Amino acid sequence: MATVRLLQDEEVSAEALAVFDDIRAVRGTEYVNNFWRALAHDPALLQATWERLKVVMAPGALDPLVKELLYVAVSATNGCEYCSHSHTAAARAKGMTPEMYGELLAVVGLANQTNALANAMQVPVDEVFEA
């Protein structure tokens, strides 16, 4: 269960429905996933989030698969169940192989380990790392 009901198409405002339609068009599927159906209670927040996602995850200096891998890394670190599932699925759809996933997990695990060590010891930053 969520803290809000997941809204069906016939329950949402015209503004929210337009976002749903854009999600469908951009992704080439009729399926609108639960995150958006929860956000639809606040059409302005729904629209702002979706519009930002489209811009940020588009191809650029980093390719879309790398961006999904980064999303999975952040979601795992935050312990976000929903986002770990949705973005792992998205990464696979964009070409993440089992080998890539294994290496992603290894890096995420190691980074969380050494982050904890550096924070525990409060290691001072080396001057050579200064921008």
Among residue numbers 26 through 55, which ones bind a copy of itself (CB under 8 A)?
31, 33-35, 38-39, 41-42, 44-45, 48-49, 52-53, 55
Token pair 């980064």 is found at: 70
Q: 26-62 burial string, b = 16+ CB within 10 Å, else e?
A: eeeeeebbebbbbbbbebeebbeebeeeeeebeeeee
Using rule CB under 8 A, residue 2 touches a copy of itself: yes
Six-digit token string for 20: 């749903």
Report d(CA 36, CA 108) in Å as an integer. 27
Using rule CB under 8 A, residue 56 touches a copy of itself: yes
Structural element, H or E, at residue 95: none
Using rule CB under 8 A, residue 118 touches a copy of itself: yes
Q: Which of 14, 28, 30, 119 binds a copy of itself (CB under 8 A)?
A: 119
Could you tell me which stretch among 7-15, 16-24, 98-106 binds a copy of itself (CB under 8 A)? 98-106
Query: At closest approach, how far in Å is the CB of 21 from a copy of itself?
Result: 19
Q: Which of 10, 14, 28, 122 binds a copy of itself (CB under 8 A)?
A: 122
Using rule CB under 8 A, residue 14 touches a copy of itself: no
> How many other CB atoms are there within 10 angstroms of residue 105's CB atom?
13
